[in-house]
Structure 1
Amino acid sequence: MNSVKPLVSIICCAFNHGQYIRQCLEGFLIQKTDFAFEVLVHDDASSDDTAAIISDYVAKYPHIFKPVYQKQNQFSLGIKIWPGYQFPRVMGRYVAICEGDDYWTDQYKLKEQVDFLEKNGNFTACFTNAEILNETDNSRRIYLNGLAEGKIPSETAILRGGALYPTASVVFRYSPRIPDLFKMIPELNGDNLLIMILAMQGDIYYFNRITCTYRVWEGGVYSSVMNDIRTTLGRKRNTIKGLKKLKKISERPFRGYFKQRISQESYFILQHSGVLKNLGYLFKLTVKDSLRMLIYHKMLSRNNF
């Protein structure tokens, strides 16, 4: 079994997930498939028992779990984990993602999504709904409400970006172009850039059923970042830089979608900054981007946005 090439590579990144990582790894083991898969688990120098727990699973299932244990936290050094350590290890035709504090709940999740992609070559990815578990008050809610099952328009994928889908639910067709673009456009965060790349390469399908749980807690990736408006504005400015790079290398109709997305991000910055800072940021934009942003602002105002 060790010599069987995996059809799917599961990317799992962990950092101080000691209280959650077992549930995550068990979610992989419950999968019922007729193909081999590997789990590329990466521990970013956790200070708790995350690495020790991962080691236990590696010892029991060495043909499934392929670990990397960092001695120094790479994220704090500005190194992106997916393109830096995970994509280079991918052996599968398809890639699935599940961070160490999230987990899969449907034992047929992987098989059904892979079967769909195998039968539909024009689709580059598919994702499902998820449940959000808030660890603070132990409340649960549905991740996506009102999104109809079916093909996702490319425009929707570009404009909504990473907010469109639960990261733990996606399975996509892997290509060397993906890590190349991640290295070329470091300004965008992983789930945001990924869905836009996939939308540019083909169709994306949404299954309206819950297959995984997305966990929200104080140590989560975005919890502290989104609570700091200055950090958020900095991320938005970086997002605009990345979107401009994507717009430059894209063709119609994607170029127009990226223009709209740039306008959205610019409006957010203006809306959450002081007046003088707003004016300063306007001067930094190109004339076209400034006009586009003002038009977008006017449209939103008309709709009481």
Structure 2
Amino acid sequence: MEKSPLISVIVLCYNQENTIGRTLDSIIDQKTNYSYEIIIGEDASPKDNTRAVCEEYAIKYPNLIYLMPKQANKGLLQNYSDCILQSKGKYIATCAGDDWWSNPDKLELQVSFLENNNDYGVVYTDLSVINVDTKEFLKDFNTSNHKHMPSGEIYKELLFENKISACTALFKKQLFLENVDLSEFKSLGFIMEDYPMWLELSNQTKFKYLPVSTSTYSVGDGSLSNNNEFGKIEEFELNCNLIRKHFISKYPLNGIDDRYLDRNLYKTLVLRGTVRKHYNEARFYAKKIQINSVKDFMLKTICFTPAIFLFSKYLKHIKCA
């Protein structure tokens, strides 16, 4: 009888013909004592030959790769859900078709930790970031930016910022099956799967951050989370706030309510608009901020004076927003 793999690696891809091979090679090259499988969710890419590349890999590695059957486009949440239901592993890792694992010991490090620490259910790591438009490459992103990366019970910290890049994470499948309902996320209007998933799981288990870079994450001006078009920025941040409001109602924290979250949203959009020189949009959200502190007063004042141009340069210099 064939033994089930310990790890299932889910690869979601869509119009990524030029990068999916690199992604799959980086997973195949993992050096681990633990068995794993690769589940590819190719979501009916209409513009290129992504599926043809995936089919080549599935034929070449029949005992390692399972390519989900060809269907009409499902969308991110349904595609991810179907891949998890197909998976056989105790642990789940994910990697999008334009990212890749730059550390061959990723799975070994993470599974070894979870196998020896039963009170933890999710482990994530540092990463490198490449901007596919500017070709700017930043190694060890969290370390380079001196970011505090939480471990243990991290719900409150996650509520204000999603610090976990999905391509770096590995989690227990059973925790997901018992607590995460992607169809509910979809019905609530969430446009992403990872952030609400982390918020739910952070109320069920401990998270562990390993300060070693394992993955390279691709960003570009066209992505929702990293976009120069303010409408896309706004869509992303408004959806993040929708997610936060859902979870603060489900898992309340003292002193944090919808008004508190809205204030943080407005400030975030002011900063993200200013750094990208969307000054009218930044001023629109600045008007919504009620002045409760000197910092609030200064931020609103800056937005409605020529100082906003210098502030934009400063924010860009410190790589803010």
TM-score category by the smaller chain?
0.7 to 0.9
Asked if 1:228 corresponds to 2:224, the answer is: no
Equivalent position of 2:115 in the other structure? 118
* Alignment partners' CA distance in 1, 2:236 and 2:259: 18
Q: For 1:63, what is the secondary structure of its paired residue?
A: coil
- 1:130, CA displacement in angstroms? 1.1
The TM-score normalised by the length of structure 1 is 0.79
Quote the offset at 1:88 in angstroms. Answer: 2.4
**Structure 2 residue aligned with 1:178:** 180
- How many corresponding residue pairs? 283
* 2:106 is the counterpart of 1:109: yes
Match of 1:158 in 2: 159
Deviations 1:30-53 (A, max 9, x none): 112222212111112223221111
- Alpha-carbon distance in structure 1 between the residues aligned to 2:202 and 2:257: 11
Q: Would you say the 8 A contact 1:159–1:258 is kept in 2?
A: no
- Report the CA distance shift for 1:45/1:218 in structure 2 as closer, same or farther (over 3 A): farther
Residues 202-213 of structure 1 correspond to what in structure 2 (within 5 A)?
A: 202-213=205-216
CA contact (8 A) 1:126 1:170 kept: yes
| Alpha-carbon distance in 2 for matches of 1:11, 1:36 | 14
Q: Do residues 93 (structure 1) and 94 (structure 2) align?
A: no
Measure how far apart 1:141 and its partner are. 0.5
Q: How big is the shift at 1:228?
A: 2.2
Instruction: Write out per-residue CA displacement over residues 120-168 of structure 1, whole angstroms, 9 at most, x where no aligned residue.
Output: 122221111111122334331032121357625432222112xx12221
Structure 1 vs Structure 2 CA RMSD: 3.1
> Normalising by structure 2, what TM-score?
0.75
Q: Cα distance 1:275–1:60, how it changes in 2: closer, same or farther (>3 A)?
A: closer
Instruction: Tell whether the 8 Å contact from 1:37 to 1:64 is kept in structure 2 after alignment.
Output: yes
Amino acid at match of 1:59: I
Match of 1:201 among 176, 198, 204: 204
In structure 1, the residue matched to 2:305 is: none
- Counterpart residue identity of residue 178, structure 1: V
Structure 2 unaligned runs (5+)? Answer: 274-280, 300-314, 316-321
User: Does the CA-based 8 Å contact 2:68-2:83 persist in structure 1?
Assistant: no
For residues 24 and 223 of structure 2, what CA distance do their matches in structure 1 show? 17
Q: What amino acid maps onto 2:61 in structure 1? A: Y
**Structure 1: tracts of 5 or more residues without a match:** 283-292
Counterpart among 121, 126, 129 of residue 129 in structure 1: 126
Equivalent pair of 2:290/2:296 in contact (CA under 8 Å): no
The residue number in structure 2 matching 1:68 is 68
Cα distance in 2, alignment partners of residues 208 and 66 from structure 1: 31
Q: How far apart are the structure 1 equivalents of 2:112 and 2:234?
A: 40
Give aligned-pair identity as a percent: 20
Q: How far apart are residue 65 of structure 1 and its match? A: 1.2
